[in-house]
Structure 1
Amino acid sequence: MTAAADPGDERLGRVFLARVLEPGDETGGRWVREFGVGEVVGRLRCDGRSLPGVSTTRWAGLVARAGRAEPARDLDRARAVGARFLCPGDTEWPRQLDDLADARPVGLWVRGRPSLRMWALRSVAVVGARACTEYGTHVAAALASDLAERGWVVVSGGAYGVDGAAHRGALAARGATVAVLASGVDRPYPRGHTALLDRIAEQGLLVGELPPGDHPTPSRFILRNRVIAALTRGTVVVEAARRSGSLATARAAQRLGRFTMGVPGPVTSALSAGVHELLREEAALVTDAGDVVELVGDMGDLAPARRGPVLPRDLLEPAARTVLDALPGDRAAPAGEIALGAGTTQDAAIARLYELRALGYVERHGDGWKLTRQAVTSVRSGHRPC
């Protein structure tokens, strides 16, 4: 038995299994839980006795993969790019990943200096469409920037579109960001984001389940999303069509009991249709970082009250506003008529009319009172007359 299959070395065993098992393999996760890493590695690498729950063909495929696995070499390749391998139970292991049960990663490759466990404690996922609109790019970048300025770690998938905008927004605010990849952490993907991902590795963290050199596949992108959902306190979907992979992240967050949020878009946009569908289910509607932090933050982290601008007319006392509303818009009216419309006495109405004249809302016309020319329109639009 080689060192790679030594049942007593759980770390090397998990590195070995990361090469043999696909991410999210619940059958493999159950084997590890029921038999232990050493037993699973031993059967795959040495004696070939199959484990329960897979066909003969599937087992043969796993054994073939096991024959090509070189965990010591994978660790060397990781060290060459400044990456490390985390196991469940390590000090740096984010314990919230344990919520994935048998779909929990057998280990994680991490590239970057900060502690993944500490960063994950105060993190939010911002995900969305790859082929996003200018609106999606703007919202994702602004949201991520504001979250970063508030001390939150922005987690996304490193892809084009919303993911890239979220990472850039966090970096622009000199904040923290984590990219969870569907490839090896030494193999930036997509290639067009090589510079961005290298910058994240320098200032933040690159995280992945796949060993060094491995490439992404469509299924690996989907399975990667469960890690994003489990790692963070909540997931925000900025822009997504009905078949967007980012919806898989949101639904994984829902299953895990995490907060699920969506940013609404134009009802005519197909790229917002998936978000709107999510909002009709159980997701919370958010429009900015304040809304997000109110959900995922600590008690007392409340978003500011939403209200329109305070207009000069709003500052009038209720009795004065009632008298102002009682004036006809097209003619002068005597004080008695105005008092009747305002439901007050004539003396009280006259006192308010003089107050309104001083503010520029009304003027005397003989024995009557009339709205000033500017006030005819400004009162109805809510603006104070000049």
Structure 2
Amino acid sequence: MNAKRPRIRPDAKERAALTQLSPNAESSLEQAREGEAGVATGLDVLYARAVWSRLIEPGDAVAGALIGALGASSVLEMLADVDAPQQLETSAAAAGVDLNRRTLAAAVARWRHRLDRAATAADLDRAIASGLQLIGPECSLWPAALNDLGVHAPQLLWVRGEAAFLGLPSLAVVGARACTGYGANVTAELVDSAGTAGIAIVSGAAYGIDAVAHRAALASGAPTVAVLAGGADRAYPAAHESLLDRIAGAGAVCSEMVPGAAPTRWRFLQRNRSIAALATATLVTEAGTRSGSLNTAGHAAELGRDLGAVPGPVTSAASAGCHRLIREYGATLVSNSDELREFLGLDDAAGQLIDGIVDRQSASHRRVLDALPLRGIRSAGEVALAAGLGTEEARGVLAELEMLGCVARAGVPGDLARWRLVRRE
């Protein structure tokens, strides 16, 4: 029966779409062996993962275990067999994965219900129209930190913006949607401090603390990443459409859900696991005892990520969740920028470098800083011309200065980026 199994591969139109969405997919996995299915190309595997991102809900451990052991293409092809549960059970057992027939039968039933090739083709078309990229675990831009989720890891990310930002050292900043003025102020202050230290900010683009964190990161010139519970092309909440556009222009907006997918309660909870996994550490700046941000904190703790919390007034119900994290779960108490730096593991030498970098610039650093106006922006080409450097050399120096918090991008990443000085008090 295996010899007659239909090979689920992208057709010419789908391959063209996949190449546009992930230009390096073919070369990144030229001949990846996928179990009994034989040799699959990078585009075959990426296509299979795109199909799986429609078939499963986030965090599907059965799909994760099978795909991890047998490969995305192979499991997808077995799904077309009449006796798919038996085939999957036999193949999984041979690969050392123990899944019983009843569990597999239930999984096959729910996956087949969504199996629709036309819908997947529409997903790819919508992704192209929305300017998305496809990033799979086989791609060089895949954030390896997500692999810590094991069988619960996303099968694919649909990304709007600069996918490379997903792999930067980062801090997840989360908290209450109905935040207080205190929560907003302390969040903005700490995010600005983290951004100045070259740390990217990860959050969920929700109302309240999430939005404050993203806006503070944008204001400080730090890269910021929004992880959505619905499609990466779908602004949620709708009122944050312009904010998400700004995040995509200076960072990245990503989701494991197909374009156009609606956020649901389950998807919000599972989105939180990705926020916690992507970030090096998680900081809860204000949260009540029932805040969804405590779910993110729980994922961070399970993953062994550093967990911090900001204390608030003892009379404030909006900070009760933070106090519980500190008292019962061993979260690090963070109340100011110095404590944040300590929490993030930035030692005194690093802090002195950040605070006093202007006094110890290399010649090329000084020339590039001199080439930037006190107010206004310039392209890398304009900076190179003013500094007397080659354009590629100027881009490299600008990237170094960005990590040191001395300059910031004022436009989209890449050749269209514009640069500005970061003003320091």
* TM norm structure 2: 0.67
Find 2:342's aligned residue among 286, 294, 298.
294
Find 2:110's aligned residue among 61, 69, 74.
61
After superposition, the C-alpha distances for 1:26-64 in whole angstroms (9 at most, x for unaligned) are 111001112221221113345461244526455322111
User: Which stretch shifts more, 133-142 or 15-24?
Assistant: 133-142
Gaps of 5+ in 2: 1-5, 12-33, 89-98, 353-425
After superposition, the C-alpha distances for 1:228-258 in whole angstroms (9 at most, x for unaligned) are 1111110000111112111111111111111
Q: Is the 8 A contact 1:4 1:16 kept in 2?
A: no
SS of 1:70's equivalent in the other structure is: helix
Question: Counterparts of 2:67 and 2:240 in 1: how far apart (Å)?
Answer: 35
SS of 2:114's equivalent in the other structure is: helix
Taking the TM superposition and a 5 Å limit, the aligned residue runs for 1:1-386 are: 1=6, 2-4=8-10, 8=40, 9-45=44-80, 47=82, 49-50=84-85, 51=88, 52-53=99-100, 54=103, 56-67=105-116, 70-113=119-162, 115-117=164-166, 120-280=167-327, 281-300=329-348
Q: Is the 8 A contact 1:16 1:69 kept in 2?
A: no
Q: Is the 8 A contact 1:238 1:262 kept in 2?
A: yes
Structure ID, larger Rg: 1
Q: Is the 8 A contact 1:75 1:84 kept in 2?
A: no
Shift of the 287–69 alpha-carbon distance from structure 1 to 2, 3 Å rule, reads farther
SS of 1:115's equivalent in the other structure is: helix
Q: Is the 8 A contact 2:287 2:322 kept in 1?
A: yes
SS of 1:110's equivalent in the other structure is: strand
Question: Counterparts of 2:258 and 2:275 in 1: how far apart (Å)?
Answer: 18
Question: Counterparts of 2:345 and 2:82 in 1: how far apart (Å)?
Answer: 51
Question: Counterparts of 1:236 and 1:226 in 2: how far apart (Å)?
Answer: 14
Shift of 1:152: 1.1
Question: Counterparts of 1:90 and 1:116 in 2: how far apart (Å)?
Answer: 14
Q: Is the 8 A contact 1:111 1:185 kept in 2?
A: yes
Q: Is the 8 A contact 1:75 1:85 kept in 2?
A: no
Identity %: 44
Number of residue pairs aligned between Structure 1 and Structure 2: 302
Shift of 1:174: 2.1
Gaps of 5+ in 1: 305-386
SS of 1:59's equivalent in the other structure is: helix
After superposition, the C-alpha distances for 1:343-386 in whole angstroms (9 at most, x for unaligned) are xxxxxxxxxxxxxxxxxxxxxxxxxxxxxxxxxxxxxxxxxxxx
After superposition, the C-alpha distances for 1:150-197 in whole angstroms (9 at most, x for unaligned) are 211111000000000000111111221110110101001011111111
Question: Counterparts of 1:204 and 1:173 in 2: how far apart (Å)?
Answer: 13
Shift of 1:215: 0.7
**Which residue identity does 2:52 align to in structure 1?**
L
Shift of 1:73: 2.8
Shift of the 42–48 alpha-carbon distance from structure 1 to 2, 3 Å rule, reads farther
Q: Is the 8 A contact 1:116 1:205 kept in 2?
A: yes
Shift of 1:204: 1.2
SS of 2:225's equivalent in the other structure is: strand
Shift of the 257–300 alpha-carbon distance from structure 1 to 2, 3 Å rule, reads farther
Q: Is the 8 A contact 1:145 1:171 kept in 2?
A: no
Q: Is the 8 A contact 1:129 1:161 kept in 2?
A: yes
